[in-house]
Structure 1
Amino acid sequence: MNWELKSDRPIYVQLIEQIQLRIVSGLYPAGSRLPAVRDMAAEASVNPNTMQKSLAELERSGLVYTQRTSGRFVTEDRAMIQSVKELLARDQLKEFFIKMGQIGFTREETITLVEQAREGEDRHDTDLAV
């Protein structure tokens, strides 16, 4: 998973979101050790202080914790991870509905389009199985 950073919002906020995404997707599984701050910063092409700020914020939220001599780890609280996953999903859905509204679709029309797209996927999956 690549780090995708844009100039429209603070970098540390985007890093928080992307680390959260890596956790909820299982790239960084519950209880796993995170890479070192400098390694993560180099991979994301950001200043280590910026990455440190993001990780400190994730620690405050409880999603990540530090063991003094061993580094940072993802929480083992699967309910918390699931809660973050649902929050991220709701944010994506909200953004999607806003964008659909901007191009002229009502909420109901958008839901209909989503259902039609899903039905198309189901048919496509069936076609592939034949």
Structure 2
Amino acid sequence: MQFDTSSPIWVQLVGEFSRRIVTGEWAAGEKMPGVRELAADLGVNPNTAQRALAELERLELCRSERATGRFVTHDDARIDEVRADLATDAADEFVRRVRGLRMAHDQARALLDKRWDSHEHHTTDIPDGGGA
């Protein structure tokens, strides 16, 4: 993972860990990697990884069990809320960027539809909600 200077590393880790949860890389109810393992894998200080994991607990995406570790929440509704938040952020960024390019709404929609179809093979297990 590459870090940028626009926000603290622990905040970027919260985003990365949230992404791992909503995509199922860390499945609901599954034991999460330990602080030291995450820190070593990502090349960060264990205190930084710990801070990000504490924030995930505050966000109710995981829970700690004394002497056994951290576990991803079983709350599918909470995971769906975070997924929607991450998707909203991505959509807002897309809109900001294409507006900055002075692209018309219809052109942006056509571009998104075209790109969506070209990435279909990556998301065959995700049903098309069609609504948003």
Unpaired runs of at least 5, structure 1: 126-130
More helix by share: 1
Q: TM-score, normalised by structure 1?
A: 0.85
Is 1:101 the counterpart of 2:92 in the alignment?
no
Q: Among residues 46, 49, 52, which one is paired with 1:48 in the alignment?
A: 46
Q: List, as ranges, runs of 4+ consecutive aligned residues in structure 1 with deviation greater than 4 Å.
A: 116-119
Identity %: 37
- The residue aligned with 1:75 is 73
CA deviations 1:35-87 (Å, max 9, x no partner) are 11011011110110011111101101110100011000100001111111111
Q: Is the partner of 1:82 in helix, strand or coil?
A: helix
Residue identity matched to 2:57: E
**TM-score (norm: length of structure 2):** 0.83
In the alignment, is residue 58 of structure 1 matched against residue 65 of structure 2?
Answer: no
- Counterpart-to-counterpart distance in 2, 1:32 and 1:107: 41
Distance in 1, matches of 2:34 and 2:115, equals: 41
Q: CA deviation at 1:4?
A: 3.1
Aligned residues: 121
Give how far 1:93 is off: 0.6
Letter in 1 for 2:108: T
The structure with the largest alpha-carbon Rg is 1
Given that residues 31 and 75 in structure 1 are in contact (C-alpha distance below 8 angstroms), is that contact kept between their aligned partners in structure 2?
Answer: yes
CA distance in 2, matches of 1:16, 1:93: 19
What residue is the counterpart of 2:35 in the other structure? 37
SS of alignment partner, residue 73 of structure 1: strand
Provide the residue aligned with 2:126 in structure 1.
none
Asked if the contact 1:41–1:51 (Cα under 8 Å) also holds between the matched residues in 2, the reply is: yes
Q: Say what the alpha-carbon RMSD is for the aligned residues.
A: 2.0
